[in-house]
Structure 1
Amino acid sequence: NRLERKNPKYDYCKQQLQEHQPDLIFCTTQRSTQSISALLAAKDLSIPTIAFVYSWDNVPKAMQVVETDYFCVWSDHMKAQVIQYYSFVKPDKVFVTGTPQFEPHYNTDLFKTREEIFKEHGLDLGKQYICFSGDDETTSPLDQYYLEDLANAVRSLNQKGYNLGIIYRKCPVDLTKRYDAVLKANHDIIVSIDPIWKKMGSAWNEVMPTRDDLGMLVNVCRHSEFVTNVCSSTVFDFVAHQKSCIYYNYEQPQLKKGIRDIGQNYKYVHFRSMPSDEAAVFCTNKQHLESLVEEVLTGKRSNVSEGLKWYEIIVGKTPTEASQNIWQVIKQIVN
């Protein structure tokens, strides 16, 4: 903190706070180094500060960068993690509010009919669509080959009488071209529906979702049969709509020294929150993917029951009330 106070940004932030005299500073992520100067200046001016833990894996995985007077967290589970990892944080300074991330799934104003969403994106009304949710390059460096595996499974099932397609929703912060060859080779069954995010800077974490994207994601969830991905939190987006998720948990033959394997993802601490291994449908062998896809399509296999238990552990008991809960915390602190 002593060195931070010598940073010109600290002086700039302190001047702005003195000029505008806010009642409170709300930091939307506890891991933003860019927020340190502003929060320290607020502390020196006796302005209360709150940090929101913005992702389900942030506490055990990303750890804490900023120090604030209070924290807003998703659930009792996350509150316990904050207290466990940061022993200096007092329990009465941590408020369980839920997260606004999943509120759009309950906003019927965003809902569109199957006909509307299919027309908007050039989808075939005669097909059932499976969503492939892409990962960032760090988490799944060979992600394009999982999309290829799904395309091969879908093509095989179509030859057996199914009429399936794939909606590919790329990871919003993935700016690579690594999927292009797979998309081109399977253009007859894969439709790309890109996230509608807005670049606010050059860094990966400076790309922000728009309101239009919230609606699009909601309707992709509603009108897809289920989702497949590598360890993505979209398992929660889809289970909110009573839809299953297949997690890929096998390595690709293209894996070699210097490329990160995906198996380690499922060993992270935040996956210990699963109530059982049935909270997602795990595909542990490339050769089993087609049969798993068919079983989920026909209702013979589902993770929805256990997935909803996991959803409550992670998201909390009141997923529709997070925004209001956060406002109540703010009012409580400033008053």
Structure 2
Amino acid sequence: MLLKPKKIFILLPDGVGLRNFAFTSFVEIGEQMGWDVVFWNQTPFDLSALDYKEIKLGGKPRAYTDLLKRAKISGELDYFEEKFDDSVYQSYKFPSSNKRIKSKIKNAILTQLTKTYKGEKGLHKLREKLKASERKSNFYQYCKDVLEKQKPDFIFCTNQRPVNAIAPLTAAQDLGIPTGTFIFSWDNLPKATMIVEPDFYFVWSEYMKEELINYYPQINSDSIFITGSPQFEPHFNLNLRKTRKEFFVENNLDLTKEYICFSGDDVTTSPDDPHYLKDVAEAIKSLNENRETKLGILFRRCPVDFSDRYDETLEDFKDLIIPVAPKWKKVGEHWNSILPTQEDLELQVNSIFHTKAVINLGSSMVFDYALFNKPCLFLNYDVEQKIDVNWSSKKVYNFVHFRSMPTGNEVVWLNSKEEIENKLSLILNDSADIVKNAKKWFHKINLTPAENASERIWEDINKISK
């Protein structure tokens, strides 16, 4: 008699998990290991078009739950500041709007909640209140009904941040179904973005495991699995790579030139990005005067930045800068309704493969380029005419995740616009040491071999489900 395969629900509360778990070989590996893989999909993305099994997840969390979530984040950041004696945690807070009466009422409730549930004990009660709040919702009951009917053996949440993941995970736990979540990004834990409380956690590295325990000591070490992140696996898929000629022709790049990638940030992270792009363009224009093979700039904007803020710079340097827009799909008005696509994975892989280096402000693209043995240059200065007088690049590099750099020599630091030309020239001639250091940083951040992350996740799910 054949054994019935175990069923796993891949909970997709928002689009950020698509890239890691729908556009890689993750599902295929799980099916080869004998799992019946079903996406519990709360995004507008049609996964059936990829021949995946999916159950659409309808409903939404209670408004009060969202207030509790905001209070939890604020309270945890206050607690981290006190616990670690470090004011950096306050810089992760975003100012709340106070323009409308509704916003003022919400902010008053939020302030009271933060005051009431502070410290380790208070935050524990707040986490319990989050789950208790969702148990009162129609969304929770809907999730419970689906789970009772489908009877999955494991629920795997693709990231730990969305408030709408609380109800399905809580419903599963109340029914005795084991749950786990993947920590989505290398910078998430210091930001207090741990919104869900599953039974198991999947992290990138030993470094991230220690970080998780440091911030949340109530989590049992045995419930944390070190797997690496599937987001880097496409870099090892040779089928995604195109020839130089094919890629250049498709994207209007000049075959006689070599290209540097300028990787844009979102407006909040780097409001002065257009000015930085202009500085880089001017430096490369000067550099080209003494180069036989001319340089150009492949400009990849942040996928959720649809602003016109670069237009003037792009027009002024149209002979030098070629925009290669990310192939993300906008399916709504909010930033989290802009979803990645499989086509963009291919585009990003080839953008890295066919450029010499990347320039940006503090992006994790340093790791992507290191895997291709290519250097990264970090912009590390403030422009003269700042868009936001309260913003500084120093604030960005003071974030906790940059403290993971082993030596500080993992990137080339561009400390002024005057340094760009010379440092870029030097790194194009010899980047061996910088790339070597960047790889050491990557090995600290993400378990190697990086191409086996999906396989390791499934192996650990198998251990849990024995």
Counterpart in the other structure of 1:52 = 182
Instruction: Give 1:14 deviation, angstroms.
Output: 1.3
Counterpart in the other structure of 2:222 = 92
Counterpart in the other structure of 2:253 = 123
Verify: 1:197 aligned to 2:324, yes or no.
no
Q: Judge conservation of contact 1:138–1:260 (CA < 8 Å) in 2.
A: no
Secondary structure at 1:65 match in 2? coil
Counterpart in the other structure of 2:68 = none
Distance 1:218 1:194 in 2: 13
When normalised by structure 2's length, the TM-score is 0.70
Pick the aligned partner of 1:234 from 357, 360, 365. Answer: 365
Matches within 5 A, 1:1-335: 1-162=131-292, 163-255=294-386, 258-299=389-430, 303-335=434-466
CA RMSD between the two structures: 1.5
Distance 1:317 1:81 in 2: 18
Provide, for residues 185-232 of structure 1, a one-character-per-residue CA deviation record: whole Å limited to 9, x for no partner: 111111111111223544323333222211111111111010000000
Distance 2:283 2:160 in 1: 41
Distance 1:17 1:330 in 2: 19
Instruction: Give 1:137 deviation, angstroms.
Output: 0.9
Distance 1:300 1:39 in 2: 46
Distance 1:105 1:214 in 2: 9
Q: Judge conservation of contact 1:225–1:243 (CA < 8 Å) in 2.
A: yes
Q: Judge conservation of contact 1:198–1:209 (CA < 8 Å) in 2.
A: yes
Q: Which amino acid aligns with 1:278?
A: N
Secondary structure at 2:409 match in 1? helix
Distance 1:12 1:258 in 2: 47
Distance 1:282 1:92 in 2: 39
Q: Judge conservation of contact 2:275–2:383 (CA < 8 Å) in 1.
A: yes
Distance 1:18 1:202, change over 3 A: farther
Q: Which amino acid aligns with 1:122?
A: N
Q: Which amino acid aligns with 1:87?
A: P
Secondary structure at 2:259 match in 1? strand
Distance 1:261 1:272, change over 3 A: same
Between structure 1 and structure 2, the one with the greater Rg is: 2
Instruction: Give 1:63 deviation, angstroms.
Output: 3.1
Secondary structure at 2:339 match in 1? strand
Return 293-302 or 213-222, whichever deviates more.
Answer: 293-302
Counterpart in the other structure of 2:79 = none
Gaps in structure 1 of 5+ consecutive residues: none
Q: Judge conservation of contact 2:374–2:431 (CA < 8 Å) in 1.
A: no
Q: Judge conservation of contact 1:133–1:170 (CA < 8 Å) in 2.
A: yes
Q: How many residues align?
A: 335
Q: Which amino acid aligns with 1:76?
A: E
Instruction: Give 1:112 deviation, angstroms.
Output: 1.4
Instruction: Give 1:182 deviation, angstroms.
Output: 0.7
Secondary structure at 2:297 match in 1? strand
- Greater length-normalized contact order (CA 8 Å, ≥ 6 residues apart): 1
Distance 2:394 2:337 in 1: 28
Distance 1:59 1:304 in 2: 26
Secondary structure at 2:451 match in 1? coil
Distance 2:433 2:305 in 1: 29
State the identity %.
44
Distance 1:292 1:302 in 2: 14
When normalised by structure 1's length, the TM-score is 0.96
Distance 1:325 1:253 in 2: 48
Return 51-60 or 200-209, whichever deviates more.
Answer: 200-209
Secondary structure at 1:250 match in 2? coil
Secondary structure at 2:279 match in 1? helix
Moved >6 Å (runs of 4+):
none
Q: Judge conservation of contact 1:196–1:210 (CA < 8 Å) in 2.
A: yes
Distance 1:203 1:256, change over 3 A: closer
Q: Judge conservation of contact 1:130–1:227 (CA < 8 Å) in 2.
A: yes
Instruction: Give 1:301 deviation, angstroms.
Output: 7.7
Distance 2:331 2:172 in 1: 24
Q: Which amino acid aligns with 2:203?
A: V
Secondary structure at 2:319 match in 1? coil
Q: Which amino acid aligns with 1:154?
A: I
